[in-house]
Amino acid sequence: MANLRPPGGYLKEDTQRRKEWLEKKTGFHIDETAPDDPEVLKGIIENHIGYISIPMAIAGPLKIEGTYAKGEFYIPLCTLEGTLSKSMTRGFYLTYSSDGIKTKHIKQELSRSPLFIFEDFDKANIFYQWIDQNYEEIKKSAESTTNYGKLLRIDKYPIQNSIILDFVYYTAEAAGQNITTIATHEACLFIKKKFSNQYDFQYQYYIESNFSGDKNPAYRTLLHGRGHHVIASALIKGKLLRRILRMSANDAVVSWAQSSPASQMAGVLGKNMHVSNALASLYLATGQDVACVAENSVGIVSYELRNDDDLLMFLAMPSISVGTVGGGTRLNQQRKNLEMLRCTGKDSSKKLAEIVCASALALELSLAGAIRSDEFAQSHAHYGRK
């Protein structure tokens, strides 16, 4: 199984060997891609002045059995942190040798949460009832602006003399941030016009109250999810844990239990060590909105002892904001990476979300071993410095 992992080395010829290795594994030839013409950057960036190179690595193979992602995948990563791609590959190797990672796609929901402010709570209550009575027309208005978005529901939250309307959408292959904003704005204009024709009330509205948790780590996201909600798991054989990570299953369970109070004391939202590392590197490589890492990193890791010697690991990620159309996904290299991951076409955003969750699980597992075996500092000294 030695040839499972990418060839090592830092020389120019080592990079070429990895490209050849990857082409044999996937059929994709990775070469230097010319920068995208400025004309195609509309909708991606303003005031464009040039390009900056970010190194790209490959990690794998990821063996996955998911709702949408099935088979072997080789994961492109853009990062400036030494050890990351090596560590993720180690997690992939360990899980591959233990029958892979299972993933379950739970749902896909993205919200935008405008705030309506009235003179008093009696008027706010009338508005609260009016929204339910006119929901179908509001839905039609919102969906008139998009080919991908479907309004699933409007959740209402009264606050004194104000009402938060949480517009919750399904966004198909799009990540959906612009879809939800434009659709909700259209719905708010419709509400303003029709409600004002029926009631002579003074009120004000803001398109976003910050209740949605957009680009913020939030308890709402933990409870209800935002974007794709995916759960990943892997059952790792005890003998492989001891050989590759130099720890036992019981070591992993005990050390994670001991770390939990420290996380609580620090006020960490979610329960993981560095899910954000996997997210940022994969998001850059596949053209996602990297700022979403802030809200997407609230994953919850857990470990269980199974069969006396094996380790069952879970990673629940209620928020993965990825898409396979729009935004940076149309850039040349990012598009090639999505094609290499076989993440194009119907249900490809769900497939990509499962790959992201599985990759984060592998990275978390490798770090757990490095900390428990006291190799964390040593590995960064070796791979994280020149």
Q: Is the peptide bond before 61 cis (omega within 30 degrees of 0)?
A: yes
Dist CA 239 CA 22 (whole Å)? 29
Structural domain contains residue 44: no
Confirm whether 30 is domain-assigned.
Answer: no
Residues 102 and 118 grouped into a single domain: no
The interaxial angle of helices 135-143 and 177-198, nearest 10 deg, is 140
What number is the average pLDDT over the span 11-30?
90
Q: What percent of the chain has pLDDT over 70?
A: 99
380 counts as catalytic: yes
Enter the tokens of residue 30.
């990775």
Domains identified in the chain, total number: 2
Active site residue 251: no
Q: Tell me: the pLDDT tens digits for 236-281?
A: 999 999 999 999 999 999 999 998 899 889 999 999 999 999 999 9
The verdict on 277 and 295 lying in the same domain is yes
Which residue carries 């329960």 as its tokens? Answer: 271
Residue 103 maps to which CATH number? 3.90.770.10
The count of other CB atoms within 10 Å of the CB of residue 77 is 27
Same domain, 179 and 248: no
Q: Are 173 and 325 in contact (CB under 8 A)?
A: yes
pLDDT at 2 over 70: no
Of 65, 81, 309, 375, catalytic? 81
pLDDT at 226 exceeding the cut of 80 = yes
pLDDT for the residue numbered 96: 96
Asked whether residue 188 is assigned to any structural domain, the reply reads yes
pLDDT (0 to 100) of residue 153: 98
Q: Is the pTM of this model over 0.75?
A: yes
Q: Are residues 141 and 237 in the same domain?
A: no
Residues 182 and 296 in one domain: no
Which residue range(s) make up the domain with 155?
Answer: 114-206
Separation CA 191–CA 201 (nearest Å): 13
Co-location of 237 and 369 in the same domain: yes
Residues 273 and 371 occupy one common structural domain: yes
H or E element, residue 99: none
**Same-domain status, 198 and 240:** no
Residues 83 and 176 in one domain: no
Task: Identify whether 48 is a catalytic site residue.
Answer: no
Residue 304 in any domain: the answer is yes
Same domain flag for 356 and 270: yes
CATH of residue 178: 3.30.70.420
Q: H-type helices in the chain, by residue range?
A: 12-26, 84-96, 121-133, 135-143, 177-198, 219-224, 238-240, 249-266, 275-286, 293-296, 332-340, 348-372, 376-383
Give 146-205 pLDDT, tens digit per residue. Answer: 998 999 999 999 999 999 999 999 999 999 999 999 999 999 999 999 999 999 998 999
What's the mean per-residue pLDDT of the chain? Answer: 94
Domain match, 145 and 245 both: no
Q: Which of 72, 155, 186, 380 is catalytic?
A: 380
Q: Write down the catalytic residue from 155, 289, 304, 309.
A: 289
Q: Which of residues 169, 188, 206 is at a domain's end?
A: 206
